[in-house]
């Protein structure tokens, strides 16, 4: 069965500092991996995805994520945080052989302090 873990309910970082939001996953086959962001009372917005190829993927708003197969991780990173990055972040996984069902993590709330 597919699963996603976001071990931190909340991450606090000062503006200008690097940020990392952690994600680990479990699938029976090779994964498709995604990050989404949600602002208050809004739908989720797609940030980036890993399908195949280069383990470091770049996405919207300066975010990037690194796929680590041995550690089954897909951590979200940004070199310099902005106050406007404060939001709820979701990691998601889909098994390449598992149809269209995507499993979302519980979410990590990011607070960036000025």
Partner 1 sequence: SQTIHQWPATLVQPVGSPLSLECTVEGTSNPNLYWYRQAAGRGLQLLFYSIGIGQISSEVPQNLSASRPQDRQFILSSKKLLLSDSGFYLCAWSEGGQAYEQYFGPGTRLTVT
List interacting residues with partner 1 (CB under 8 A): 32, 34, 36, 41-46, 49, 51, 88, 90, 94, 100-102, 104-107
- Residue 16 C-beta: closest distance to partner 1, Å: 27
Q: Min. distance of Cβ 92 from partner 1 in angstroms?
A: 8
Which CB atom, from 13 or from 47, has the smaller least distance to partner 1?
47
Which tokens go with 22? 């952690």
Q: How many helices (H) and strands (E) does the chain have?
A: 0, 12
Least distance (Å) from partner 1 to the CB of residue 67?
15
Q: What angle do CA 8, 9, 12 make, to 5 degrees?
A: 80
The candidate with the shortest Cα–Cα distance to 108, out of 1, 12, 3, 2, is 12
Measure the CA–CA gap between 111 and 11, rounded to whole angstroms. 6
Closest to partner 1 by CB, 41 or 70: 41
Of 29 and 70, which has the nearer Cβ to partner 1? 29
């Amino acid at each position: 069965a597919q699963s996603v873990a976001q071990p931190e309910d909340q991450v606090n970082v000062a503006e200008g500092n690097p940020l990392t939001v952690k994600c680990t996953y479990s699938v029976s086959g090779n994964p498709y991996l995604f990050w989404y962001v949600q602002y208050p009372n809004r739908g989720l917005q797609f940030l980036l995805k890993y399908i195949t190829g280069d383990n470091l993927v770049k996405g919207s708003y300066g975010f990037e994520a690194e796929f680590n197969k041995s550690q089954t991780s897909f951590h979200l990173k940004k070199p310099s945080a902005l106050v406007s990055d404060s939001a709820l972040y979701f990691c998601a996984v889909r098994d390449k052989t598992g149809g269209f069902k995507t499993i979302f993590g519980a979410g990590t709330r990011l607070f960036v302090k000025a």
